[in-house]
Structure 1
Amino acid sequence: MTTRELAHVPDGVSKEDFLAAIAKFEAVVGADNVLTDEDRLTPYFKTMMPVADEEYAMSAVLQPTSTEQVQDIVRICNEFRVPVWPTSTGRNFGYGTYAQGNAKGRRHQVVIDFRHMNRILEVDAELGTALLEPGVTYQQLVDYLEEHNIPLWVSCPAPSAIASPVGNTLDRGVGYTPYGEHFMMQCGMEVVLPDGEVLRTAMGGVEGSNSWQVFKWGFGPYLDGIFTQSNYGIVTKMGLWLMHKPPAYKPFYIRFNDDDDIAAIVDMMRPLRLAQIIPNAVVFAHALWEAPAIIPRSKYYDGKGAMPVERIEAMKAAEGIGAWNVYAALYGTPEQIEVNWKIVTDAVKALGKGEIFTAEDMGDKEPFAYRAALMRGGMSLQEFGLYRWRGGGGSMWFAPVTVAKGSETRKQTALATRILNKWGFDYCGEYIVGMRDMHHVIDLLFDKTDEEDTKNAHACMSELIETFRSEGYAVYRTNNAFMDQVADCYGPVQRRINQTLKRALDPNGIIAPGKSGIDI
């Protein structure tokens, strides 16, 4: 039995049993790939949520190198009832959902870190498909395509260089190219189930099949979806569709000066999205989302509470930032772009407000430059400027979904601003437009080193969730601290079905207990 020192032992597991499990983990992945001492674990449980980081401390981190090792890890966890939380390439600072969980009574879980399972297994340049392990990063995939001169573009979130395509897709994240609905562009999974068996979804279950990455559905019930935002299995391979590089690309920016313009903007852009004139996810960034990319908050306001309206207006005028800043792009042949550009500019002219700019106008000026790169899959860490805006290391993303109608966006913006300002926080928000829906992404920034600010942030987030639910809105992702509250928004029937599936697939409840409010 191992003589390791243990920083923590999982709740409900004896120290003797956990030491026995650690010895078996070492036999599977090697002692160097089993982390148990405090110094090596601490970086894994630093959070930006308004909670004590110690509540999210884990007992060990395991770093497997193969699917077979993951199978063995799961079997050992079942043997000793050790809860295990898989993570791809790190934490998601906005939602915190790639890190370890904190289910009630299930603290100090073991974490699987997939950093060593980082192989790009296959890329088909003709079909535009890729097969990846969860440790592959967006930067690694882009570098691979460039190194092999493969003319495919990757759709990525912002900021994305160190993030995982598999991890982001499993959490149903979005990007900014025409392939920006990432789960829609997923095809085929390899999943280690809680009993250690391996499932290959859709055509992957057919021996010798060459269509695993091209036909999503296979035969019978479609299963891939149940492994997203869930704890029913551990995905060890995933197929993705990549976009062929177009002959021409034209990013553009429209600046609107008044907060109330948001309704007219949405109603102008929606028909262009539905008609695929603009094929990518359009972004409507508010001034207080735009500014952190280029300036510190203290340049215009260094006081307590929400930034006053007059200071926001002074900032907008001095920095040339719109109340709303719209980013979109055209893709295709030069001839197609010329036709569609006229349609776009005519729509802006007909609206009678908004100033439109192209790459020729903006050059490398920020934040246009990083937005233009993002809409063709370019890597950037520019958006991390949000975390410098207020300082103090606290951040939570509140992301309610709404329909792509101007009246709804005006209502959501006013509602969110009122609640945030009430608790002393700025409205730092943007809308990401799908075809008919809009992801309203708000970063609740606070000072985690300040006890009162942290307490207010927790209360503010809870009020946002409950108030928006009362208006018929709910978020599509959230951080670990609020998963139960968000799960309640979707009603008892869905929670009961999720629990039924969990009990059937994972009767010992070992995989990520509490993820998305799901436990046995």
Structure 2
Amino acid sequence: MTTQREITVTPDGVSPEQFMQALTRFESVVGPDNVLIGEDRLTPYRKTMMPVADEDYAMSAVLQPTSAEQVQEIVRICNDFGVPVWPTSTGRNFGYGTYAQGSAQGHRHQVVIDFRHMNRILEVDAELGTALLEPGVTYQQLVDYLEENDIPLWVSCPAPSAIASPVGNTLDRGVGYTPYGEHFMMQCGMEVVLPNGDLLRTAMGGVEGSNSWQVFKWGYGPYLDGIFTQSNYGIVTKMGLWLMPKPPAYKPFYIRFRDDDDIAEIVDMMRPLRMANIIPNAVVFAHALWEAPAVIPRSKYYDGPGAMPQADIERMKEAEGFGAWNVYAALYGTPEQIEVNWKIVTDAVRALGKGEIFTQEDMAGTEPFEYRAALMRGGMNLQEFGLYRWRGGGGSMWFAPVTVAKGSETLKQTRMAMEILNRWGFDYCGEYIVGMRDMHHVIDLLFDKTDPEDTRNAHACMTELIQTFRQHGYAVYRTNNAFMEQVADCYGPVQRQVNQTLKRALDPNGIIAPGKSGITV
């Protein structure tokens, strides 16, 4: 039984006596072993990579349910005692500000739901290419399942991927690198525990006996799945996903460009190929300072203060064979289809008059090509963790503004970001991930969290990036928990009011993840 001494902090607005009663009821639902309290058991959940004090995100307890029914009971108990609860899938959302279990909630002293025990692959239909998963399932687990059962389907995953959750990544509208890389587009059907404890199955899942829950997204009436992404309106306990049939042939390739300003011409060359589906996957344009951490330490070329000087970047590019921009894409289909499309791609590069194109045969065994080639077929790896070794010190934030796939816009964003980052003493570690018509500009702001001045500068730099890009009509599509309010403001007061209206209607007690995405009661 829980004792008073074991409770480090209680949720804001909840008395110690009330919280003790809530813990006793939580234990009756999930069992004492699945209610974590006390410093020893909570410390692994409290480390963040954001430029804030870890204690600012201290949780009161962690719950580890094993079923949707247990989640329903947890939510009802939270309503009875006014205890806020923050769900996390596998908690490996490193790039958006968290570490360890990644449970840095929006406000202090919440109870975290950790779904590590809800990790069942409930169904995979090899003929239809669908899967039904619980939130604790990892990408590696799903890939292993497909391989062990000889199911010829590919998984689209983010990078790094193996330890992350398909459900969690999709709910945060993450992206991958295969033709199925727009992950929410490939989602179909959810089971959601609502804030009052009711269980909602969206779209065809609401029809008793339906066998089309994972194949028809829309159902009847308003489409609801979208409101449960990047929100705090419910807790998703099951999700359907579409998986890509393994193609007969696959041809990854790499194009190296020498100069930073080449980015404009690269985008304008690649966009028509992407829109025409000649290149069907999410094309990546990785800057040299995104490439380098995967294979070398920063100190090999520069170990001084502030941003890496351009002269040292050029020296590194020459010695290591990096381009200023390194483009990765792939062709999929039959050998005949690939042959036709390969000629179209190579003709486009030749017409541009710059850029060196390489095939898998040219680059065999080299990094980071091999890791990129694996990503574009859904291969698991942790290569991108090299970013966190680049400067050291455990600090990382991803700044990810969206822009249109036009060269002029991309050049503008790159210059703006470089200027702000360098002025605050940080490197431009950036890449673009290209959709059909949009580009996700992903920048990892790496800093030394053990250095107070570097941490303060990182916070100020992130603030300026968000403000400056907003002034130019750009906003990020995801952010870490420390900057949710600032990012939500970028999208205007009407959207915030609509979000709040939905929150009040569904969760009048503000129980689920208060403050997520800037949404409050």
- Common fold, TM-score beyond 0.5? yes
1:299 and 1:99 mapped to 2: Cα distance? 31
Partner of 1:190: 191
Partner of 1:59: 60
Partner of 2:511: 510
Residue pairs, 1:299-318, within 5 angstroms: 299-318=300-319
Report the TM-score, using the length of structure 2 for normalisation. 0.99
1:480 and 1:85 mapped to 2: Cα distance? 12
Letter of the structure 1 residue corresponding to residue 435 of structure 2: G
Partner of 2:403: 402
1:196-230: per-residue Cα shift (whole Å, max 9, x none)?
00000000000000000000000000000000000
Partner of 1:170: 171
What is the Cα deviation at residue 90 of structure 1?
A: 1.5
What is the Cα deviation at residue 96 of structure 1?
A: 3.1
What is the Cα deviation at residue 364 of structure 1?
A: 1.4
Partner of 1:241: 242
1:296 and 1:47 mapped to 2: Cα distance? 23
2:304 partner SS: coil
Residue pairs, 1:279-428, within 5 angstroms: 279-428=280-429
Residue pairs, 1:411-490, within 5 angstroms: 411-490=412-491
1:455-503: per-residue Cα shift (whole Å, max 9, x none)?
0000000000000000000000000000000000000000011001001
2:95 partner SS: coil
2:2 and 2:57 mapped to 1: Cα distance? 25
1:193 and 1:510 mapped to 2: Cα distance? 10
Letter of the structure 2 residue corresponding to residue 235 of structure 1: V
Letter of the structure 1 residue corresponding to residue 361 of structure 2: E
Partner of 1:124: 125
2:217 and 2:234 mapped to 1: Cα distance? 19
2:287 and 2:97 mapped to 1: Cα distance? 23
Letter of the structure 2 residue corresponding to residue 119 of structure 1: R
Check the 8 A contact 2:86/2:105 in 1, yes or no.
Answer: no
1:289 and 1:102 mapped to 2: Cα distance? 28
Letter of the structure 1 residue corresponding to residue 481 of structure 2: N
What is the Cα deviation at residue 3 of structure 1?
A: 2.4
Check the 8 A contact 1:101/1:514 in 2, yes or no.
Answer: no
Letter of the structure 1 residue corresponding to residue 42 of structure 2: L
Check the 8 A contact 1:101/1:109 in 2, yes or no.
Answer: no
2:156 and 2:245 mapped to 1: Cα distance? 11
Check the 8 A contact 1:134/1:165 in 2, yes or no.
Answer: yes
1:236-288: per-residue Cα shift (whole Å, max 9, x none)?
00000000000000000000000110000000000000000000000000000
1:317 partner SS: helix
1:7 partner SS: coil
Residue pairs, 1:82-97, within 5 angstroms: 82-96=83-97
1:336-375: per-residue Cα shift (whole Å, max 9, x none)?
0000000000000000000000110000100000000000
Report the TM-score, using the length of structure 1 for normalisation. 0.99
Check the 8 A contact 1:156/1:180 in 2, yes or no.
Answer: yes
Letter of the structure 1 residue corresponding to residue 271 of structure 2: R
- Unaligned runs of at least 5 residues, structure 1: none
1:28-71: per-residue Cα shift (whole Å, max 9, x none)?
00000000011111111110000000111100000000000000
- Unaligned runs of at least 5 residues, structure 2: none
Partner of 1:3: 3
Check the 8 A contact 1:284/1:325 in 2, yes or no.
Answer: yes
Check the 8 A contact 1:231/1:518 in 2, yes or no.
Answer: yes
1:94 partner SS: helix
Partner of 1:21: 22
1:91 and 1:314 mapped to 2: Cα distance? 34
What is the Cα deviation at residue 2 of structure 1?
A: 3.7
2:227 and 2:150 mapped to 1: Cα distance? 35
Letter of the structure 1 residue corresponding to residue 3 of structure 2: T
2:174 partner SS: coil
1:430 partner SS: strand
1:131-169: per-residue Cα shift (whole Å, max 9, x none)?
000000000000000000000000000001010000000
1:404 and 1:154 mapped to 2: Cα distance? 25
2:3 and 2:393 mapped to 1: Cα distance? 39
What is the Cα deviation at residue 102 of structure 1?
A: 4.8
1:346 and 1:383 mapped to 2: Cα distance? 31
Check the 8 A contact 2:297/2:389 in 1, yes or no.
Answer: yes
Letter of the structure 2 residue corresponding to residue 55 of structure 1: D
1:273 and 1:281 mapped to 2: Cα distance? 8
Partner of 1:277: 278
What's the RMSD between the two structures over aligned residues? 0.9
1:349 and 1:326 mapped to 2: Cα distance? 15
What is the Cα deviation at residue 22 of structure 1?
A: 0.2
1:318 and 1:439 mapped to 2: Cα distance? 29
2:345 partner SS: helix
1:511 and 1:336 mapped to 2: Cα distance? 49
What is the Cα deviation at residue 26 of structure 1?
A: 0.3
- Which range moves more in the overlay, 232-241 or 36-45? 36-45
1:64 and 1:293 mapped to 2: Cα distance? 36
Count of equivalent residues: 518
1:79 partner SS: helix
Partner of 2:33: 32
2:235 and 2:15 mapped to 1: Cα distance? 25
Letter of the structure 2 residue corresponding to residue 253 of structure 1: Y
Letter of the structure 1 residue corresponding to residue 461 of structure 2: C
Letter of the structure 2 residue corresponding to residue 81 of structure 1: G
Partner of 2:143: 142
What is the Cα deviation at residue 101 of structure 1?
A: 4.9
